[in-house]
């Protein structure tokens, strides 16, 4: 199929922060934002103030995908709700109303047949209901249009693509078969990059903290969480006041985790931000954005800090989407072959200090030696009080 001679038409469901649109902007790809959809009021306010689509839908499950009023697109992206499949939830899968949203996404793809679709969810969807949930997802996608798409999936970790956040998500990619070149051998996923230190992603620290510098907000759980982890690290011979550990101080002792020189997986429920041991404060909104591959200052904030923090924790990682689009868009003829798209995260990973890290530990152990502290200029959103 011939390449497009017009801007890419993009539509998103479960739109959140509109990371797909931010990714296209960062890649300098021309686009038409055809529609967005999200049930949360604060998300709608934020999107309409920054990335207004031609059409807004409040609920994709109430939408008539066959209607002419529902726009067709070239690129469709959705991060359907993860709570039904997450290991942190009840794991009800498709027996939960939120789990059914996947079928609404599949219905749109069936009706409008975009050239490319990208769906995202938590890694636990692969094993939910003994693996039957994953089998249903794959069979549903492969049956669209009587097999109209090349469908593949892979677990991608944000920290393996140039941003220091441990965030494993499964991505389902579909490419319409009549758009790929002859001899297509399957989608080539982005290669992993060296893991980078979190220090360039954090704002400059103002002073060396002491063991008495504990959270002023967050109640007993937050204060005790920070204190207990700091004491544990000191007992183990670590130096958490000068070396950076990112701590989930809002979790109970049983589920508390902390990581050396990188950020644990950010979530909607941790909207207040994790604790930075070497700064004796919570992560700022701009630091949280950077750890999702986003640039502070790329949008205006029209909702509360809490709402933005929740949206960041619920968002797709922009670095992952950018690197997927680098592969997908030329393959499906969505950008001219002559248009060189820049892999800025690969370029950046080659220059930033590297970090050797292990998997996150729950409740007890943290990790290993890290590179010397490095700081960057503060930009973007205001620092929040702790």
Structure tokens at 103: 């079928």
Over residues 49-61, the mean pLDDT reads 98
DSSP structural state of residue 130? G
Q: What residues are annotated to the active site?
A: 82
Residue 337 lies in a domain: yes
Looking at the fold, whether 173 and 208 belong to one and the same domain comes out as no
What pLDDT is stored for residue 145 in this prediction?
A: 97
Structure tokens at 85: 């499949």
DSSP 19-62: HHHHHHHHTT--EEEEEEE-S-HHHHHHHHHHS--SEEES-GGG
Over residues 204-227, the mean pLDDT reads 91
- Round the average pLDDT of the chain to a whole number and report it: 90
pLDDT above 70 covers a percentage of the chain that reads: 87
Distances (CA, A) of 134 to 44, 71, 89, 92: 30, 28, 17, 13
Looking at the fold, whether 184 and 288 belong to one and the same domain comes out as no
9: exposed, middle or buried (Cβ count in 10 Å: 0-12, 13-18, 19+): buried
Looking at the fold, whether 203 and 184 belong to one and the same domain comes out as no
Looking at the fold, whether 147 and 205 belong to one and the same domain comes out as no
pTM: 0.89
What pLDDT is stored for residue 62 in this prediction?
A: 96
Residue 91 lies in a domain: yes
Looking at the fold, whether 273 and 356 belong to one and the same domain comes out as yes
Count of domains for the chain: 2
Looking at the fold, whether 214 and 233 belong to one and the same domain comes out as yes
pLDDT digits (tens, 9 = 90+) for 324-344: 999 999 999 999 877 889 999
Residue 370 pLDDT exceeds 60: no
Q: Are 182 and 279 in contact, with CB atoms under 8 Å apart? A: no
What pLDDT is stored for residue 3 in this prediction?
A: 81
pLDDT digits (tens, 9 = 90+) for 263-285: 999 999 999 999 999 999 999 99
Looking at the fold, whether 166 and 287 belong to one and the same domain comes out as no
Looking at the fold, whether 103 and 69 belong to one and the same domain comes out as yes
Looking at the fold, whether 94 and 187 belong to one and the same domain comes out as yes
Lowest mean pLDDT across 97-111, 132-146, 157-171: 97-111
- Which band of pLDDT confidence, cut at 50, 70 and 90, is reported for residue 81? confident
What pLDDT is stored for residue 358 in this prediction?
A: 54
Looking at the fold, whether 139 and 227 belong to one and the same domain comes out as no
Residue 3 lies in a domain: no
Helix axis angle, 132-143 to 101-112, nearest 10°: 20
Looking at the fold, whether 82 and 16 belong to one and the same domain comes out as yes
Residue 160 lies in a domain: yes
Lowest mean pLDDT across 137-141, 203-207, 353-357, 365-369: 365-369
Which residues are CB-neighbours of 239 under 8 A, at least 6 positions away? Answer: 233
Residue 203 lies in a domain: yes
Which contiguous run of DSSP H or E holds residue 33?
A: strand 31-37
Residue 357 lies in a domain: yes
What pLDDT is stored for residue 337 in this prediction?
A: 73
Looking at the fold, whether 151 and 249 belong to one and the same domain comes out as no
pLDDT above 90 covers a percentage of the chain that reads: 78
Question: Residue 256 sits in which domain range?
Answer: 199-296+352-362
Residue 162 lies in a domain: yes
CA atoms within 13 A on the CB side of 291: 29
Over residues 217-225, the mean pLDDT reads 90
Over residues 164-186, the mean pLDDT reads 96
Residue 367 lies in a domain: no
């Amino acid at each position: 199929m011939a390449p497009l001679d017009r801007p890419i038409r993009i539509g998103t469901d479960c739109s959140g922060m509109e990371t797909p649109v931010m990714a296209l902007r960062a890649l300098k790809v021309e686009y038409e934002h055809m529609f967005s959809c999200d049930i949360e009021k604060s998300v709608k306010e934020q999107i309409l103030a920054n990335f207004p689509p031609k059409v807004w839908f409040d609920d994709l499950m109430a939408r008539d995908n066959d209607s002419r009023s529902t726009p067709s697109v070239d690129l469709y992206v959705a991060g359907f709700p993860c709570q039904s499949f997450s290991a942190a939830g009840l794991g009800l899968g498709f027996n939960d109303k939120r789990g059914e949203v996947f079928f609404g996404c599949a219905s749109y793809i069936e009706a409008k047949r975009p050239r490319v679709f990208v769906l995202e969810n938590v890694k636990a969807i692969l094993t939910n209901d003994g693996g039957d949930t994953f089998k249903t997802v794959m069979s549903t996608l492969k049956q669209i249009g009587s097999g109209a798409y090349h469908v593949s999936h892979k677990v991608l970790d944000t920290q393996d693509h140039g941003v220091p956040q441990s965030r494993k998500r499964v991505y389902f990619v579909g490419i319409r078969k009549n758009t790929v070149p002859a001899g297509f051998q399957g989608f080539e996923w982005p290669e992993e990059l060296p893991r980078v230190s979190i220090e360039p992603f954090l704002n400059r620290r103002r002073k060396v903290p002491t063991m008495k510098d504990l959270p002023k907000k967050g109640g007993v759980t937050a204060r005790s969480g920070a204190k207990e982890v700091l004491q544990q690290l000191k007992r183990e011979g670590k130096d958490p006041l000068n070396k950076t550990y990112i701590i989930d101080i809002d979790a109970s002792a049983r589920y508390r985790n902390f990581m050396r020189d990188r950020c644990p997986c950010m979530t909607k429920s941790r909207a207040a931000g994790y604790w930075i041991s070497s700064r004796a404060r919570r992560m700022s909104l701009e630091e949280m954005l950077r750890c999702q591959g986003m640039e502070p200052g790329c949008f205006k904030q029209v909702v509360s800090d809490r709402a933005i923090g929740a949206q960041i924790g619920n968002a797709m990682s922009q670095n992952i989407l950018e690197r997927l689009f680098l592969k997908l868009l030329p393959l499906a003829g969505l950008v001219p072959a002559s248009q060189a798209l820049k892999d800025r995260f690969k370029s950046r990973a080659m220059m930033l200090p590297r970090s050797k890290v292990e998997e996150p530990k729950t409740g007890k152990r943290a990790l290993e030696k890290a590179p010397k502290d490095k700081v960057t200029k503060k930009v973007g959103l205001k620092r929040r009080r702790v």
